[in-house]
């Protein structure tokens, strides 16, 4: 069994081991299957660790331009606690343009070629 990493809401720190019941989240993952094909195994591993830690993970692949926005626009807090976007800057941009209406927290998993947003906000290159 792998040690899973989790972040308590509002705590701003990462711990290892199973997530406490109060921290279990429903994650909806929107991913662009065309972005960063070499990195999809790493994404699948990360999602497996999240599920192993007790989080409920639902994945949905985009089918083309604009589809990430359609997925995000249809989500609400009834569907999930957090929307995780796995893709490049274009996928993230689509989601950001519609996410305000859903009032959902956003998590980023950079998979693109340049990942400019991730670099600008100082995200590490590995999960």
- Calculate mean pLDDT across residues 118-127: 82
Q: Which residue has the tokens 């997530």?
A: 19
- pTM (two decimals): 0.76
Q: How far apart are CA 101 and CA 106, in angstroms?
A: 13
Query: Which residues share a beta bridge with 84?
Result: 29, 107
Q: Which of 124, 100, 74 is nearest to 108 (CA)?
A: 124
Q: Does an H or E element contain 30, and which?
A: strand 26-31
Q: What is the pLDDT of residues 9-57, one digit of tens each?
A: 444 444 455 555 556 689 999 999 888 767 788 889 989 999 998 999 9
How far apart, in Å, are the Cα atoms of 102 and each of 39, 77, 97, 120? 28, 7, 11, 25
């Amino acid at each position: 069994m792998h040690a899973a990493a989790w972040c308590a809401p509002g705590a701003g720190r990462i711990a290892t081991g199973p997530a406490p019941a109060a921290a279990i989240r429903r994650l909806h993952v929107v991913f662009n299957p065309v972005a960063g094909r070499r990195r999809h195994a790493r994404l699948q591993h990360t999602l497996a660790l999240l599920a192993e830690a007790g989080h409920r993970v639902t994945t949905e692949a985009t089918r083309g331009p604009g589809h990430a926005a359609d997925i995000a626009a249809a989500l609400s807090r009834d569907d999930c606690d957090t929307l995780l976007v796995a893709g490049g800057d274009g996928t993230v941009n689509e989601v950001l343009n519609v996410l305000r209406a859903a009032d959902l927290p956003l998590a980023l998993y950079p998979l693109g070629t340049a990942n400019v947003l991730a670099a600008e906000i100082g995200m590490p290159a590995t999960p």
